[in-house]
Amino acid sequence: MSAINSVTQLRTDGNVGVISINFPPVNALSAAVRDGIHGAMQAALQEPAIEAIVLICEGSTFIAGADITEFGKPPAGASLGEVQRIVEESAKPVVAAIHGTALGGGLEVALVCHWRIAVPSARLGLPEVNIGLLPGAGGTQRLPRIVGVEKALEMMTSGSPVKAAEALEIGLIDELAPEGGLQAAAVALARRVVAEKRPLRKVREQNDKVLAARGQPALFEKFRSANARKFRGLAAPEKIIQCVEAAVNLPIDEGLQLERKLFLELMQGPQSAALRYYFFASRQAWQVPGLPKDTPILPVETVGILGAGTMGAGIAMNFLNAGIPVHIVETRQEALDRGLATIRKNYENTAKKGRLQPEDIEKRMALLTGSLELQQLADVDLVIEAVFENMEVKKDIFKRLDQTCKAGAILASNTSALDLNEIASATTRPESVIGLHFFSPANVMKLLEVVRGAHTSDSVIATSMQLAKRIGKVAVLVGVCPGFVGNRILAQRQREANALIMEGAMPWAVDRVLYQFGFPMGPFAMSDLAGLDLGWNKEKSSSSTLREVLCEMDRRGQKSGAGFYDYDEKRTAVPSQLVEQTIADFAKKKGYSTREVSDEEILERCIYPMINEGAKILEEGMALRASDIDVVWVNGYGWPIHRGGPMFHGDQVGLDKVLAKMQEFERQLGPQFKPAKLLEELAGSGRKFSDLKPAR
């Protein structure tokens, strides 16, 4: 056995040389790993006793890709191209032995090995698209040569990995190894290859599958149009398609050249920068500075939920899906029955779409019980209150929970607007009280704002974050303030959207600008979808807001066939002349004078106040980091992920520019645009949000 460098070893097992990589956490292809493989290959090639080579990794995974932290830094060590060349051109057969994940550059290294073997739990994929890139180490040319054009397009544009069993079926691996017996199986395969004198198999020479697609441009056009919606606004998928077209139509070396060129274009573009930023932002959000590493995690084996409405039912499903028993408490049998039936119906609908097995519905429903007695929650580990937003009601509930629940139980509120500290004050144990703000539909939306009260204990915070992970949420820790992080920022955009249509922009113009920016829909289309009559009372309606006026006209949104837009039978939104007139009349009545509003102004008026509010949130310590705000907005509010998030966007635009615009708007339109101190400070010193240290 010899150490090649700090992360690589070469051992011999009879006539097989085993190169093993050990570079936690994910064996990313950093300079040391590249140097290690290159050096080990040279050594193995020179050693006459070695007749075949196995490449394997230690730790939890095979190589999970290029080292993203190295991107943009000056090149060091052996290049990935050199590593691949020495492997592919090796006269001794090389077998890739895969466990965990072989992703991106990791799979691309496996694709230059002559054979691939994996354990059943392994997954293989080219997820570069998720960070705004394309596979840049030959993946776009080699994958279609193995799995065919259609499957390669699907894998590379979705970024989703395939499981080992499927990889075997589509030819991406040659053999399955028993779990725990990977190295022995890989060595045995290498030995068989040598004994049988099998000719070396190079993927680059396998042309049948790409030739089969030659002269069929319609195949690519079909793929483009079938995915147009999914790829909207994204640069990488189109470039991936172009590379696969090259794989089909050009010799491999020319295809590789094009791949290199397009890879570098993407790497230098703004989308990949945003998506790489987001990759780390989404992982950082889980880290809570100031929480000691040994903070005890409380057991959460049973959950109680108060309220079987839409929210309560949706929240319950998260736990049932994760195998955690739930008991729902309601005040009326009818409401309880309705809630339980809603949950079953949701599962049945998922099963109809083929995404859940009928037996799983029963398994999940078997974990669900309900009653009208709060006493039933005496022994649960966590209670989540999801009743309507009324402080007195919530305080009364928390007082009773305090009397009912066992010591140490976590008492959570799903409030989206009320002061958590006041709710906690109704108990004798505010250290056990936390906010768990789920977003509707709670069984679908990824985001969870974990709201830290003034007295919430470290244990309760750490347990809540861990629990969020267990139920598949993206959790962000926030502080107590009106609207927390997400809704507080949303209120800024909503205020400006409403003001803009009074000043002369039409709702469809505002929606179009935000849609083109990358949001799935604009605020007015969104209002129509949610219903304009949310919280509207016909008897008390006084025509004092535009929404009220529209509701009085029975334009209550999509469900009534009309709202800000008209809707046809296919629910296509069509701008409405009647609404245009109604807005003009309403604006006149309120004393607005209308004017031409540019698209640029719409965007800046909607987006810059959001960034400014984010700065205030940071100033007040209501979010730990700017990137946490971005994680909230990407996961809860449809902020286009390829634009990183509002705070990242502010950094990209330039905080001096954002500040100057806010100052201009403040002069022209009023104090609602007053710049945050933090924005002034950062812009004044040429710094960015991303330069800030996390708050504690």
Residues in the site for ligand 3H9, rule: CB under 6 A? 25-26, 28, 61, 64-69, 80, 101, 103-105, 108, 127-128, 131, 133, 135-137, 139, 280, 283
Query: Nearest approach, Cβ of 123 to ligand 3H9 (angstroms)?
Result: 8
Active site residue 680: no
Quick one: which of 519, 461, 534, 494 has its CA closest to 672? 494
Buried b (16+ CB within 10 A) or exposed e, 86-105: bbbebebbbbbbbbbbbbbb
Q: Which is nearer to ligand 3H9, 101 or 141 (CB)?
A: 101
CB 625 within 8 A of CB 284: yes
Query: Nearest approach, Cβ of 91 to ligand 3H9 (angstroms)?
Result: 25
CB 43 within 8 A of CB 4: yes
Q: Which is nearer to ligand 3H9, 234 or 505 (CB)?
A: 234
Buried b (16+ CB within 10 A) or exposed e, 577-593: eebeebbeebbeeeebe
> Which value, in Å, is the radius of gyration of the alpha carbons in the chain?
29
Q: Which is nearer to ligand 3H9, 127 or 144 (CB)?
A: 127
Return d(Cα 207, Cα 199) in angstroms, integer: 17
Query: Nearest approach, Cβ of 166 to ligand 3H9 (angstroms)?
Result: 17
Alpha-helix runs per DSSP H in 111-232 = 139-147, 149-158, 164-169, 182-195, 208-212, 217-226, 228-231
Enter the tokens of residue 645: 């998030």
Q: Which is nearer to ligand 3H9, 68 or 188 (CB)?
A: 68
Q: Which is nearer to ligand 3H9, 103 or 611 (CB)?
A: 103
User: Beta strand pairing status for 2-5 and 8-13?
Assistant: antiparallel
Angle between helices 270-284 and 252-268 (to 10 degrees): 70
Query: Nearest approach, Cβ of 46 to ligand 3H9 (angstroms)?
Result: 27
Enter the tokens of residue 355: 């995404």
State the residue for tokens 């140490």.
Answer: 408
Q: Which is nearer to ligand 3H9, 200 or 322 (CB)?
A: 322
Task: Determine which one of 51, 82, 89, 128 is catalytic.
Answer: 128
Query: Nearest approach, Cβ of 287 to ligand 3H9 (angstroms)?
Result: 7
Query: Nearest approach, Cβ of 25 to ligand 3H9 (angstroms)?
Result: 4
Q: Which is nearer to ligand 3H9, 93 or 106 (CB)?
A: 106
Query: Nearest approach, Cβ of 657 to ligand 3H9 (angstroms)?
Result: 31
Query: Nearest approach, Cβ of 294 to ligand 3H9 (angstroms)?
Result: 18
Alpha-helix runs per DSSP H in 57-179 = 80-88, 105-110, 139-147, 149-158, 164-169
State the residue for tokens 């691949």.
Answer: 84
End-to-end Cα separation, the chain, in angstroms: 47
Q: Which is nearer to ligand 3H9, 101 or 464 (CB)?
A: 101
DSSP per-residue string spanning 592-620: -------HHHHHHHHHHHHHHHHHHHHHT
Q: Which is nearer to ligand 3H9, 136 or 650 (CB)?
A: 136
Enter the tokens of residue 280: 């780390």
Return d(Cα 675, Cα 681) in angstroms, integer: 10
Quick one: which of 236, 239, 264, 283 has its CA closest to 72? 264
Task: Determine which one of 51, 108, 330, 385 is catalytic.
Answer: 108
Return d(Cα 612, Cα 491) in angstroms, integer: 12
Active site residue 108: yes
Instruction: Quickly count: other Cβ atoms within 10 Å of residue 569's Cβ.
Output: 6
Enter the tokens of residue 155: 């894998």
**Residues written for the chain:** 696
Return d(Cα 450, Cα 636) in angstroms, integer: 13
Query: Nearest approach, Cβ of 62 to ligand 3H9 (angstroms)?
Result: 9
DSSP per-residue string spanning 354-405: TSS-HHHHHHHHTTEEEES-GGGGTT-SEEEE---S-HHHHHHHHHHHHHHS
- Torsions phi, psi of 447, nearest 5? -75, 140
Query: Nearest approach, Cβ of 79 to ligand 3H9 (angstroms)?
Result: 9
Return d(Cα 578, Cα 559) in angstroms, integer: 18
Return d(Cα 644, Cα 2) in angstroms, integer: 44
CB 310 within 8 A of CB 345: no
Query: Nearest approach, Cβ of 29 to ligand 3H9 (angstroms)?
Result: 7
Q: Which is nearer to ligand 3H9, 156 or 374 (CB)?
A: 156
Query: Nearest approach, Cβ of 437 to ligand 3H9 (angstroms)?
Result: 23
Q: Which is nearer to ligand 3H9, 240 or 405 (CB)?
A: 240
Enter the tokens of residue 271: 């989308």
CB 652 within 8 A of CB 270: yes
Q: Which residues are catalytic?
A: 108, 128
